[in-house]
Amino acid sequence: MAAYSLSSLPFAFSTSHSPPSKRFLSLPLTSLYGNRLLLRPSTSFVVKHHSSVTTATVSLSLPTAKPDRAPSEKSPKWSSRSIKSFAMAELEARKLKYPNTGTEALLMGILVEGTSQAAKFLRANGITLFKAREETVNLLGKSDLYFFSPEHPPLTEQAQRALDWAVDEKLKSGESGEITTTYLLLGIWSEKESAGHKILATLGFNDEKAKELEKYLNEDIVLNYK
């Protein structure tokens, strides 16, 4: 009959909040002689677990050329969809290898985010991300293949004015609540000489549709996942 000898291996577990404690775990080791399997203790392993605290800060504002416009406690905040649209705009600028985030990128950012009332309105009027991107390349051309955009391509003057227009209009309205993507889209449209305005016009957007869109100024779609 085969004879077996078992041994346990000590493992030390430690955290930053308590002294190391020993626990034992039985592990089979490899030493075989004929029909006798001998298990011998091996080297101890020390497993350390380091706990850490990660702090994330979420900004509710976007770049502005008018930092002293209003006291911070009275300044309206951008909606989460507007902020995401801005982040997607930077990403679109980088995808196209453009050195700056322009109004055309802001437009594409709204369409990439896709869940806002502004994005819904654009799609309902036949303005899609694919068409906007195609018109952007037709208007501005392709960037150098070997050019790499910065992580956060700086805003063009027109794009910055579009953002500031949105904030100013929100303040003028006297309405409470956040600055929605509709304000952002109309801010793009307000820059008549910008690439974003020209692309919107090429795709069928006009002053009449801008006026129709105004009724959604203070609305963002609330998605229900239940």
Closest among 89, 68, 85, 90 to 180, alpha carbons compared? 85
Of 85, 88, 82, 102, which is closest to residue 158 (Cα–Cα)? Answer: 102
pLDDT score for 3: 47
pTM, entire model: 0.69
Give domain status of residue 175, yes or no: yes
Q: Nearest-5° angle of CA 95, CA 96, CA 97?
A: 90
Which stretches of the chain score pLDDT less than 70? 1-60, 65, 67-74, 221-226
Is residue 186 assigned to a domain? Answer: yes
pLDDT of res. 165 = 96
> Quick check: is 71 in a domain?
no
Query: What pLDDT is stored for residue 60 in this prediction?
Result: 57
Q: State pLDDT tens for residues 31-78.
A: 444 444 444 444 444 444 444 443 333 445 777 767 666 555 567 899
Measure the CA–CA gap between 86 and 112, rounded to whole angstroms: 10
Say how far apart CA 53 and CA 70 lie, in whole Å: 35
Residues 6+ apart with CB under 8 A from 216: 117, 118, 121, 180, 182
Q: How many domains does the chain have?
A: 1
Q: Let me know if residue 205 belongs to a domain.
A: yes
- Sign of the CA dihedral with 64 first, then 60, 120, and 215 last: negative
pLDDT value of residue 174: 87
**CATH number of the domain that 124 lies in?**
1.10.1780.10
- Is 115 domain-assigned? yes
Is 57 within a domain? no
Identify the domain containing residue 92 by its residue range: 80-215
- Is 201 inside any structural domain? yes
Residue 225 amino acid letter:
Y
The answer to whether residue 183 sits within a structural domain is yes
